[in-house]
Structure 1
Amino acid sequence: MAVQPEGTPCWADAMFSDFEGAKRFYGDVLGWTFGESTSEYGHYTQAYADGKAVAAVVPPMPGQEGQSAWCLYFAAEDAAATARRIREEGGEVLMEPMKVGDFGTMALARDPSGAVFGLWQAGTHEGFEATGVPGAYCWAEVFTREPEKSDVFFPAVFPYQVKQIQDEAIDFRVFELGGTPVLGRMKMTDDFPPEVPSYVNVYFTVDDCDAAVERAKGHGGILRFGPMDSPFGRFAALSDPQGAHFSVIDGTTAQGRMPDMTVV
């Protein structure tokens, strides 16, 4: 795939203390296979769906052990310039832009509401080799208790257009690039335990949502929500055995009318 426009979700990875356990879990739930890893890059290991790179897993460096979480990376034409905008708009740069061999340049940041995300300035590694197919990334949403902060921050950092779903039951926005939806923003309700911070929820495509949920539960995963039918497909929210939240969706089973949206 070609280098994506600024602000496009382009890669996802996660750190797991039980590295081999994570490979077994996602290998069965999402059908991933895994590439070789070397100590030169901390045993960073790419995951593949049908031979295409779709994510990566990595064991923690000494002293970095903790609860696992998926990190979504947004494409940046100039990671240093994007990092400056993040600071200017009230965000926090957790890791300064760092060149990773000839693969590209990465940075880690946190939005003003507390959601952690990454930046990726592509080199030889351009990002996802496939999206929207079984096992691959397809969508993401910023879950936050302070939507007013995220709503100002993300369109200021990235060239997003913004739409609001007209539904009194939920507070949900969509960020678009050139008319294409690339990211959602969901206000967290009281259904979320108070200890769960703001985070970016990553969706992976599956060919059968219910079967994927059963596989996840069989490997120690926790069902958080669903499975539920929607105009976008049948989906469910899960946590893996090491605490990383993610969702699965089968987009071929969409039901119901698409929600009305207004430009903000």
Structure 2
Amino acid sequence: MADTAAAGPAQGGYAHGVPCWVDALLPDVEAGKRFYGGLFGWTFDEGAGPEFGRYAQAYSEGRAVAALAPKQDGRMPTVWNVYFATPDAYALAKKIKDAGGQLVTDPVPVGHFGTMALAADPEGAVFGLWQAGTQSGFEKKGAPDSFCWTEVYSRDKDLVDPFYESVFGYAGSDLADAGVDFRTWSPAGTAPGPDTAIGGRSLVSGAFPAEMPAHFLVYFNVADCDAVAAAAQRLGGRLRTEPFDIPYGRMAVLVDNQGAVFAVLQDPPQNPPEGADREETAGQ
């Protein structure tokens, strides 16, 4: 899939509609630091001040990859949120409402960093908007221990597909080799398909509990899916879906030590250069 290139997520770093940031809303940020530090090797800053919700930014190899935020209300979900870039959060918020979505949090400036909002699609799946100020978002993505993909799980594709494609201008493409009803999104002005896709829509199937709401799933790239799945359990998390192979690598769906769900994806092995096996045999 394509790789297009904080108290929240420099100006112009990400095109409109491209995922530019993720954060986890947790009851215990310090416990989250221990879990994700152990799982991905992330390090963390001391967290922004109370005016920014004590937002703790995570780093991989010294580059910003995500953040952990404390829940301000116990009724709020423990969840990973994905933010989509926009040059105008206020205009996009209006467009979302006009298209049948809702605003969970109206656009609000976050100091000099940028402007954020939280929205929900017509089925209630929540996602974020980020209008960059001094912070554009990910400094590392698509590489091990960083964000690589997101998809929304919906029940009514005839409702949600037109919503996202009108709001963000995505070029949609049904993925024939997925084995399930799956549609990819490519940024406006690009040819639709896996080579340009930045996210997608799947369906909530019978494999999910009947009460499962529409939701986004955030993926992190890893070097070894099985090893990360095992480490998550040692660190107090659990498996929602055991590691399994898909056309784009090997993945698992995990739950952290506080209940936030996320996925990990290992890239498929690279094909050896033509003749490599013969050369190796000849040298023995």
Q: TM-score, normalised by structure 2?
A: 0.85
Q: Moved runs in structure 1, 4+ residues, more than 2 A?
A: 63-67, 166-169, 252-255
What's the % identity of the aligned pairs? 46
C-alpha distance in structure 1 between counterparts of 2:221 and 2:177, whole Å: 25
Q: Which has the larger radius of gyration?
A: 2
**Aligned counterpart, 1:119:** 129
Conservation of the 8 A alpha-carbon contact between 2:178 and 2:247: no
C-alpha distance in structure 1 between counterparts of 2:249 and 2:178, whole Å: 21
Secondary structure (helix, strand or coil) at the match of 1:15 reads strand
Conservation of the 8 A alpha-carbon contact between 1:132 and 1:138: yes
Structure 2: stretches of 5+ with no match in the other structure: 6-11, 272-284
Conservation of the 8 A alpha-carbon contact between 1:239 and 1:245: yes
C-alpha distance in structure 2 between counterparts of 1:60 and 1:194, whole Å: 26
Cα offsets for 1:108-128 (capped at 9, x unmatched): 000011110000000001000
Question: Cα gap change, 1:34/1:60 in structure 2, threshold over 3 Å: closer, same or farther?
Answer: same
Question: Cα gap change, 1:26/1:187 in structure 2, threshold over 3 Å: closer, same or farther?
Answer: same
Aligned pairs for 1:115-264 within 5 A: 115-166=125-176, 169-177=179-187, 178-179=190-191, 180-253=196-269
**Aligned counterpart, 1:52:** 63
Cα offsets for 1:98-156 (capped at 9, x unmatched): 00000000000000111100000000010000111111100001011222221110001
C-alpha distance in structure 2 between counterparts of 1:54 and 1:128, whole Å: 5
Structure 1: stretches of 5+ with no match in the other structure: 256-264
Code of the residue aligned with 1:48 in structure 2: it is Y
Conservation of the 8 A alpha-carbon contact between 1:231 and 1:254: no
- Pick from 117, 135, 138: which aligns with 1:107? 117
Secondary structure (helix, strand or coil) at the match of 2:246 reads coil
CA RMSD of aligned residues (A): 1.6
C-alpha distance in structure 2 between counterparts of 1:200 and 1:253, whole Å: 27
1:41 and 2:52 aligned: yes
| Further displaced range: 32-41 or 45-54 | 32-41
Question: Cα gap change, 1:65/1:168 in structure 2, threshold over 3 Å: closer, same or farther?
Answer: closer
Secondary structure (helix, strand or coil) at the match of 2:107 reads strand
Aligned residues: 254
Question: Cα gap change, 1:168/1:242 in structure 2, threshold over 3 Å: closer, same or farther?
Answer: closer
